[in-house]
Structure 1
Amino acid sequence: MKICVKKGSFSEFDCEAVVVCHFEDSKRLSGAAALLDKKCGGIIREMIGLGDFEGKLFQISVIYTRGFIPARRIFVVGLGKKKDFDLEKLRGAFSKASRRIRELNLKGFATSLDLGKINQPLDKITESVVEGVLLGLYQFTPYKTVEREKIKELKEFVIAEDNDDSFKIIKSAAKTGEIISGAVNFARDLVSTPGNEMTPAILSDRAGEIARKKNVKLKVLDVPEMEKLGMNALLGVAKGSDEPPKFIVLEYNGGKKGDKVVALVGKGITFDSGGISIKPSADMDRMKTDMAGSAAVLGAIKAASDLKIPLNVVGLIPATENLPGGGAYKPGDILKSMSGQTIEIKNTDAEGRLVLADALTYAGRFKPEAIVDLATLTGACVIALGDNTIGMMGTDDKLKKRVKDAAEATGERLWELPLWEEYHELMKSDVADLKNTGGRAAGTITAAAFLSKFVGDYPWVHLDIAGPAWLTKDKPYIPKGASGVGVRLLVQFMRNL
């Protein structure tokens, strides 16, 4: 879809549709809605006066302009009560409007970002509107071969502005929103791709696409190199699969040489059957999503490069399948991790923390100022927080605050869980240094307690994205399926540093 910022009044644009907004508790029209109403002889006020439109959140009404303006239709979208307004609602409103326009098989629409007097900067309004449109219209269709002509697509979205200063702000911010949305949709594509076409090798190839960008370089460790490093936790998980594991190291050098590095670590289990401790067959197909953490890391680095964020970042992805082959690791096995710590295997379906253990240890080679890992790690997190919320734990209050701020700014909700010493005790083994599960109680927290043993003294935050990584029903600007969760949060986190 083409995003255009054009100079001029959007009331004069010849297009199939224009979109304006109205607040539920506003007695008078304002901004772009007031302008169009005046141009069209009061038809929006008439609709409101008759009670046909109240401005409730995401309510949409369509008015035919009858030649008053060049556009053939006006879509009036409700923003809810003004006192409750935030950018998350704006994203949702424009997502809902763009989907409705697509349903009518129209090819494009225009809008103005004049929403009246609201307490939000123009650049953030612009980014949010573009994100709402591009994220809300996402469709995963590469495997649809029949009746492809019936797949509806919008071709163009125009933002009109006639003020010179505002035009410059909108043009720059629209590009930012387009880049970030593209990175999220890139991650969604990776997560949605079936396991037979998203093996560790293919995932490393997709990382290679990003490495073609300026200031990005890729190194992929194969089995002999991992063996030399002692990555036996990762290699142990990989033993049941015929697909060789890969350890992906993707570096973005947007900062100065010698500047400190931020390490982003993403779980890359490209298919998780549970191994010998096999999962139930129901919904096992969804386990292609167990590499959503790696997709978020790749998407974030893609966006960082395109946005030219002045920061040095390394993305680390331990990629493998977890399958019950003849050589698979077993409950009762003991693995020696790259850190030298030994791990008793209580359950082979707790494999994500094993591959992350070696990745977190490897991160120490960069002496990072911060480590953030993302993983679809525990079903317990879904039980505790549902599919709306990321679980967060960590060792550094300042870093946790930065991650929280990024989550707040992007609408990617998270909730901090404790990481008290009592939880660490649950991960001690009778026969090794650690065990890979601590029982049913506090499963999300004990998983993080396990990971904390591999980060050394570096500031670290763990994000359990098991809930929001895959949605079973649509949300305002997130179609059901892969959500791309974590990309926008990480990008905002990097922009804030």
Structure 2
Amino acid sequence: MGMVVTVEEVPEHGDRVVFVRKGGFGKEEVPQEEFDGEKLATLIWREKRRRIVYVGLGDGSVTADLLRKAAGTGVKLLRKLGGEEIHLDCTAYPEFAGFAAEGALLASYRFEDFRMPDARKKSALRTITVAVGKGRIDQYRREVERSEILAEAVNYVRQLGNQPANVVTPAVLADRALELAGECHLQCNAMGPKELEEGGFGGILAVGRGSENSPRLIVLEHRPTDAKPIVIVGKAVTFDSGGISIKPGEHMDEMKFDKMGGCAVLGILRAASRLGLSVPIVGVIASAENMPSARAYRPGDLIRSYGGKTIEVLNTDAEGRILLADAVGYAVERYAPRLLFDLATLTGACIVALGRHRAGVFTPDLGLRDQLWHLGELAGEPVWPLPLGEEFEDAIRSDVALVKNVSGTREGGGSVGAAFIRHWIGDTPWVHLDIAGPAWTNRELPYLEKGVTGFGVRLLTRYLLSLVAQEKNA
């Protein structure tokens, strides 16, 4: 049974999380130098049979993401203490009640599938209640319910993404997509090697050729109307050794996370269905395992991708863009989308440029770019614009094919990857999100544990929600 989330007027029982501005703490027994509401500072207070965790908000502006982080901080602490029923006291900040619920639910997730039973963290957390103040339940219930669906979709992606490569192969990912389709009333088609060969998906087949685990192209459809869909394409390399151009051994274990663009697509379709969004959405996931073997594709190979466009391979570790070429080319031809997003853990260059907290956003539509920037700040999944330009197109011109898959230098690597994908976009409105940095974390965050973050689910679902609202008001 899943977590129960409810909305009430005031906290009545159970443990509480209370949010405190700097200097606003009223317990005289505690000296201000011990707790004065500094941002995300905590204090445990015991009253009769319940515990109260005070979480500081600092003295700056109170934002959606600050409440999300503060709620996550309080829930994590109470879980460690064995809390069963937790109330989030949002009576002073009811407009942020949904974001607080989201942070609490994200903080409640743990990946413990492979821990021995005696090493699992004991917790009996069963309910989270959001208190919004008298007469406000109906006003804020919908926001809390929406945030619950979003957080559950993110946790679904985290649970799938944290699984190792010996558990989740391309075939298993396809099976999970089929299961999701059954649960959420989606249409699903998963193409295996035979269908990929017949369909001319030379890029996906080349990348997956070196592995015993055959590749898949997975298509999920949420089609409430016959209008042109939004298409979201995801890269899902279930393990990326680099292939013949093998990666260094350090941190190679993290390459089980190279599937996170594709996993995020599953989460977005899950959320869209459960929210009942009226906009048609198609998810396309290109999945393969990139391994070195006698059958693996090689530097110097020439590949004919979907639609006949040719690629010169200079580095087999730049495999994600080759997968996306097939998936994007197919999506553009098959669905003529009104807008196409692609999500991929594509380049280490994006991490060098932006760090691990932000994704790079590439699009010729500057208005859409700015909208995604604002939505990212609201969703707690921030993005930052990086350039497209002719210089990056020139860097991947090939003497023997349409394009080569790397430029041969370390300059502008994120933009070079985007320029490569753009060859399969044509005139379709398009956004490329390079999520290599924030797709997983190596340190505890206020509402996330180490491992997969589910980045992209909240950002793009909130974009879809804004699109539905815009069309409703048009």
> Shorter-chain TM-score: which interval?
over 0.9
- Amino acid of the structure 2 residue aligned with 1:409: L
Q: Normalising by structure 1, report the TM-score.
A: 0.90
Q: Distance in 2 between matches of 1:252 and 1:450?
A: 28
Q: Does 1:61 align with 2:70?
A: no
Aligned to 1:416: 385
Please show how residues 26-45 of structure 1 align to structure 2 within 5 Å.
26=24, 44-45=26-27
**Offset from partner CA, 1:132-188 (integer Å, 9 cap, x none):** 111122210111133156433522212235634x11233322221111111101111
Aligned to 2:205: 235
**Offset from partner CA, 1:281-315 (integer Å, 9 cap, x none):** 12111101000000111001100001111110000
Q: Is residue 370–residue 399 contact of structure 1 (8 Å, CA) maintained in 2?
A: no
**Offset from partner CA, 1:66-85 (integer Å, 9 cap, x none):** 4xxxx52222211111x422
Q: Does 1:142 align with 2:142?
A: no
1:22 to 5, 20, 23: 20
Residues 251 and 395 of structure 1: is their aligned pair in 2 closer, same or farther, counting only changes over 3 Å? same
Over 6 Å off, 4+ runs: none
Aligned to 1:99: 76
Report SS of the residue matched to 1:339. Answer: helix
- Amino acid of the structure 2 residue aligned with 1:94: A
Please show how residues 180-219 of structure 1 align to structure 2 within 5 Å.
180-219=150-189
> What stretches of structure 1 of length at least 5 have no aligned partner?
30-43, 117-121
Q: Does 1:340 align with 2:272?
A: no
Q: Is residue 267–residue 318 contact of structure 1 (8 Å, CA) maintained in 2?
A: yes
Aligned to 2:335: 366
Aligned to 1:111: 88
Q: Distance in 1 between matches of 2:195 and 2:430?
A: 26
Aligned to 1:130: 101
Tell me how far 1:2 sits from its aligned partner: 2.6
Tell me how far 1:214 sits from its aligned partner: 4.7
Q: Which has the larger radius of gyration?
A: 1
Q: Does 1:72 align with 2:50?
A: yes
Q: Is residue 215–residue 253 contact of structure 1 (8 Å, CA) maintained in 2?
A: no
Residues 49 and 248 of structure 1: is their aligned pair in 2 closer, same or farther, counting only changes over 3 Å? same
Q: Distance in 2 between matches of 1:200 and 1:409?
A: 33
> What stretches of structure 2 of length at least 5 have no aligned partner?
468-474
Q: Does 1:472 align with 2:442?
A: yes
Q: Distance in 2 between matches of 1:50 and 1:228?
A: 71
Greater shift, 101-110 or 232-241, is seen at 101-110
Q: Normalising by structure 2, report the TM-score.
A: 0.94
Q: Does 1:89 align with 2:89?
A: no
Q: Does 1:46 align with 2:28?
A: yes
Please show how residues 243-282 of structure 1 align to structure 2 within 5 Å.
243-254=213-224, 256-257=225-226, 259-282=227-250
2:371 to 396, 402, 425: 402
Tell me how far 1:221 sits from its aligned partner: 1.3
Please show how residues 309-320 of structure 1 align to structure 2 within 5 Å.
309-320=277-288
Q: Distance in 2 between matches of 1:283 and 1:172?
A: 42
Aligned to 1:324: 292
Tell me how far 1:21 sits from its aligned partner: 1.4
Q: Distance in 2 between matches of 1:104 and 1:341?
A: 58
- Amino acid of the structure 2 residue aligned with 1:56: E
Q: Does 1:2 align with 2:10?
A: no
Aligned to 1:436: 405
**Percent identity over paired residues:** 38
Q: Distance in 2 between matches of 1:18 and 1:288?
A: 37
1:457 to 427, 446, 449: 427
**Offset from partner CA, 1:468-493 (integer Å, 9 cap, x none):** 11111111112111111111011101
Report SS of the residue matched to 1:147. Answer: helix
Report SS of the residue matched to 1:219. Answer: strand
